Amino acid sequence: MAGSIRICLIAEGFVEDLKKCVSSIQSFTKTPVSIHANGKSNWFEQNLFDPNQVSISQDKNPLGWGNLINQFLNQHTEDYLLIMDPSTIFLADPIPNTLAALESGYQGAGWKGGLVNLADDWRTTEDKGSGEVDVLFSYYLALNRSFALKAGGANPSAKYYRNADLELSLAIRQAGGKLIQIDLPLEQGRHHGYYDADPDYREKNSKKNYQRILDRFRGKNEILAPRR
- DSSP helix/strand/coil, 153: coil
Residues 6 or more apart whose CB falls under 8 angstroms from that of 18 comprise 9, 11, 35, 44, 86
Residue 53 included in any domain = yes
Residue 81 included in any domain = yes
Q: What are phi and psi of 201, to 5 degrees?
A: -65, -45
Q: Quick one: pLDDT at residue 193?
A: 82
Residue 227 included in any domain = no
In this structure, what CATH number is given to the domain that contains residue 88? Answer: 3.90.550.10
Q: Quick one: pLDDT at residue 41?
A: 81
Residue 40 included in any domain = yes
Residue 202 included in any domain = yes
What is the domain extent for residue 54? 5-220
Domain count, the chain: 1
The 10s digit of each residue's pLDDT in 143-190 is: 999 999 999 999 999 999 999 999 999 999 999 999 999 999 999 998
pLDDT (average), residues 121-126: 95
Q: Quick one: pLDDT at residue 147?
A: 99
Residue 228 included in any domain = no
Does residue 66 contact residue 163 with C-beta atoms inside 8 Å?
Answer: no
Q: Quick one: pLDDT at residue 32?
A: 98
Q: Quick one: pLDDT at residue 43?
A: 84
Residue 225 included in any domain = no
- DSSP helix/strand/coil, 178: coil
The 10s digit of each residue's pLDDT in 68-109 is: 999 999 999 999 999 999 999 999 999 999 999 999 999 999
Q: Quick one: pLDDT at residue 95?
A: 98
The 10s digit of each residue's pLDDT in 22-48 is: 999 999 999 999 999 988 888 888 788
| Measured distance CA(37)–CA(57) in Å, rounded | 6
pLDDT above 90 coverage of the chain, percent: 86
Residue 1: band (very low, low, confident or very high) from pLDDT cuts 50, 70, 90: low
Residue 226 included in any domain = no
